[in-house]
Homo-oligomer: A and B are copies of this chain.
Amino acid sequence: MSKPLILVTNDDGITAPGLKALVEVVKKIGEVFVIAPDSPQSGMGHAITVNSPIRIDKSDVFGKIPTYTCSGTPVDCVKIGIFHVLKRKPDLVISGINHGSNAGSNVIYSGTMSAAVEGAIENIPSIGFSLDDFAHDANFLPAQHFARVIIQKALASDFPDSICLNVNIPNLPLEKLQGIKVCRQAMAFWEDRFDEREDPLGKKYYWLTGKFRDQEGAEDTDMAALKKGYVSVVPVQFDMTAHHAISRLNQWKM
């Protein structure tokens, strides 16, 4: 059997240690193709570049592994990777390892996860990995172990249609990690705050900041799993319909 073709991307950009950590894992599993943003694209959500063209360039940062940088967003990387560079569907799209958690509502803001969602839209098994540590020099070894386990399971199993996986790894040493839990997205949100500053010309500018809080404290969520030292796996879909609300809206008799 030929090796699976694995497209690897991220949102922290081509030079991020988390991307290197993920490439190290998959190069032993399949035929790897890397296409990553040429600059950091954190928080880009499901953005695509429509008002300007994009560029791609070959890169040798991963030696003999075919690698491109892209001037666009993580979703652009997946699209141009599949439809222009590879010209065929990969067997797996993986994204990460993100520097920072994408649990709770972060899934919506995350470029890492949006790349995986784009893979799901193309009906390719897709997985986004995130480590709960924003540091550039984070320890990716435990995350690499679990990424290997989950990628091998995904390739060997019947991957559900049109979904991707949101995998978050707690920032703990391997021996303290409790295992893997399949769970749902927590109702956890950012309490936003804007940090107001003044530029040298006296004009104001603002940094988005805030605290991330779990609003529900339920047991079956990704936030709860991470808190207990488990790797969380949430299946993510792109049907955003609130099906439960359809009958209530029909009562509005518009």
- Which residues in A have some Cβ–Cβ distance to B below 8 Å? 40, 42-51, 53-56, 73, 75-76, 79-80, 82-84, 105, 107-109, 114, 117, 121, 149-150, 153, 157-158, 160, 162-163, 165, 179-180, 182-185, 187, 189, 192-194, 196-197, 203-208, 233-243, 245-246, 248-250, 252, 254
Contacts and interface: CB of A to CB of B under 8 A. Distances in A.
Q: How many identical subunits does the complex contain? A: 2
Given A51-B43, A242-B235, A84 B163 contact: no
A40 B45 contact: no
A203 B46 CA distance: 27
Contacts of A44: 45, 47
Nearest to A117: B108
B192 A149 contact: no
A108 to B, nearest CB: 5
Contacts of A206: 53-56, 80, 84
11 contacts: A45-B47, A45-B114, A46-B47, A46-B109, A79-B194, A83-B193, A105-B121, A105-B238, A160-B249, A233-B254, A236-B241
Contacts of A246: 182-184, 235
A13 B66 CA distance: 39
A241 B43 contact: no
Contact of A208 (B45, B54, B105, B204): B54
